């Protein structure tokens, strides 16, 4: 069978990677070529993404591939959602893009709702209300008379901006645009009423394309800087969760997925958006997926909690040791709502957790193990709460949970999740985002022809998938009651 090489540019909220993927004999092999930090710059009271540094790191990764003399068929890009870059009429970037964690959108939804109600906005888009959604970022910039927005000819989401820097083509990929809360999920086009409130038009964005379409080829400049040839840049599900969900190794439709990383994204795949009074009340989102599917999901503050705690702990304290200490700590000593606003971006995460426990009359964690156990158990119980919500919304039976992303390696959290949900948990690849990215490139190249073929190749390539059966049902049922009481 022919060998095909693809490059996935996979950018997460803390780090980015250039990954080389090779498909052969019905399997896929991944190799991390270059890893780099996705730097956030704090400057003049705001948080920005250092997009030029990210771009230079991407070029370095591409150069390494070129130096090895590997023939590459395509390149695909995926990143986090909602953030965007303003470009002028001359094609130049007008300023660094804001990071979604910037505080300038605190209270922004309420300002927007003065002109369009919360319910109308949700019914139009099916997207859960979160203050950093692009619609609220853009409205905040408009209200603050942002000079970059006023001068912008084109607004490109982060993966689209990188694709432009690599190919010279300005596009808007559908799955990333769907996170903006400005797209009608039924028509898959911009909502004109929302754009009008922002003083924008569809022409202010790149042409809309779907996953699996060609964007362009590397510019002559990029070819010269990297040593690669005229390699096609292909649209994948450029929202990283969209790529991750594309890589769920499911064999049927009776499942929920959990993309577990800095954020936990829990949901189902649907052929149609689920927009109802109930989904509105539960604040579920309907984001674009591959092949016209809709990802009905809820954002949950995931390993961000632990990552921020780790920043306060000794540098030599490894992840394995943290988990070991969590396993030794007392069970259900302290529980938190992972999605409480106080955990969004505190100066000290340990202090935020301590204050939450004090206010809810619980023991304050005293050790690394107690903090980690509190986080893991709270996440598992929150996952149960969200699965129960999904069961009220989904027309399908949910019989198992697939965990994909970095959290697939966390045995403790995955077992806790099986215990909390009282149903089997199976893991996909910890590289699901990059794999989903690559598989859409492979579909474009004709290596696979459908989602089912993609997932079959993914299943046959998995070497470290694990299965967790639920345990301690009565203990975890009691813990869930405690969790609901504390967090309500």
The catalytic residues are 240
CB 286 within 8 A of CB 274: yes
Number of CB atoms found within 10 A of residue 164's CB: 23
CB 185 within 8 A of CB 294: yes
Number of CB atoms found within 10 A of residue 199's CB: 12
What SS3 state is found at 53? Answer: helix
| Residue spans of alpha helices (H) in 330-428 | 349-359, 368-393, 411-421
Alpha carbon distances (Å) from 201 to 46, 127, 187: 27, 20, 17
Angle (CA) 244-470-317 rounded to 5° is 65
Burial degree of 55 (CB within 10 A; 0-12, 13-18, 19+): middle
* Virtual torsion, Cα 185, 191, 195, 200, nearest 10 deg: 90
Q: What is the CA radius of gyration of the chain?
A: 22
Six token digits for residue 416: 């806790």
Residues 6 or more apart whose CB falls under 8 angstroms from that of 71 comprise: 5
Distance CA 168, CA 191 (A): 27
Half-sphere exposure of 101 (CA within 13 A, CB side): 21
Angle (CA) 74-80-86 rounded to 5° is 90
Distance of CA 202 to the CA centre of its chain: 25
CB 479 within 8 A of CB 377: yes
Six token digits for residue 235: 């649209």
- β-bridge pairing 84-87 and 154-157: antiparallel
CB 205 within 8 A of CB 177: yes
């Amino acid at each position: 069978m022919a060998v095909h090489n693809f490059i996935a540019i996979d950018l997460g909220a803390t780090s980015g990677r250039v990954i080389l993927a090779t498909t052969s004999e019905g399997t896929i092999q991944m190799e991390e070529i270059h890893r780099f930090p996705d730097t956030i710059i704090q400057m003049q009271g705001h948080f920005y993404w250092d997009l030029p540094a990210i771009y230079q790191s991407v070029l370095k990764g591409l150069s390494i591939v070129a130096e090895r003399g590997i023939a590459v068929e395509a390149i695909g890009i995926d990143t986090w959602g909602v953030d965007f870059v303003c470009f002028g009429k001359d094609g130049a970037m007008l300023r660094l893009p804001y990071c979604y964690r910037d505080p300038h959108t605190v209270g922004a939804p309420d300002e927007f709702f003065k002109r369009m109600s919360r319910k109308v906005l949700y019914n139009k888009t099916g997207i859960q209300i979160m203050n950093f959604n692009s619609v609220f970022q853009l409205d905040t910039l408009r209200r603050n008379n942002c000079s970059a927005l006023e001068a912008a000819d084109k607004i490109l989401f982060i993966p689209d901006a990188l694709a432009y820097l690599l190919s010279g083509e300005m596009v808007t990929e559908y799955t990333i645009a769907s996170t903006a809360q400005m797209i009608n999920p039924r028509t898959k086009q911009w909502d004109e009423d929302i754009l009008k409130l922002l003083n924008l038009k569809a022409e202010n964005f790149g042409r809309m394309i779907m996953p699996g379409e060609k964007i362009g080829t590397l510019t002559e400049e990029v070819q010269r800087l990297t040593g690669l040839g005229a390699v096609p840049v292909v649209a994948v599900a450029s929202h990283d969760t969209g790529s991750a969900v594309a890589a769920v190794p499911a064999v049927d439709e009776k499942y929920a997925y959990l993309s577990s990383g800095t954020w936990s994204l829990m949901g189902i795949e649907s052929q149609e958006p689920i927009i109802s009074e109930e989904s509105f009340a539960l604040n579920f989102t309907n984001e674009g997926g591959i092949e016209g599917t809709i990802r009905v999901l809820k954002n949950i503050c995931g390993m961000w909690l632990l990552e921020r705690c780790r920043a306060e702990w000794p540098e030599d304290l490894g992840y394995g040791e943290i988990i070991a200490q969590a396993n030794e700590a007392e069970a259900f000593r302290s529980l938190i709502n992972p999605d409480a606003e106080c955990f969004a971006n505190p100066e000290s995460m340990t202090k935020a957790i301590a204050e939450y426990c004090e206010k809810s009359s619980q023991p304050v964690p005293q050790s690394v193990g107690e903090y980690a156990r509190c986080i893991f158990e709270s996440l598992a119980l929150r996952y149960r709460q969200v699965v129960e919500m999904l069961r009220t919304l989904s027309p399908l039976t949910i019989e198992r949970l697939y965990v994909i992303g970095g959290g697939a390696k966390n045995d403790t959290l995955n077992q806790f999740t099986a215990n909390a949900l009282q149903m089997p948990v199976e893991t996909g690849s910890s590289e699901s985002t990059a794999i989903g990215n690559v598989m859409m490139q492979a579909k474009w190249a004709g290596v696979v022809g459908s989602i089912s073929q993609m997932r079959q190749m993914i299943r046959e390539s998995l070497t470290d998938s694990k299965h967790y059966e639920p345990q301690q049902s009565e203990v975890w049922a009691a813990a869930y009651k405690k969790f609901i009481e504390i967090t309500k």
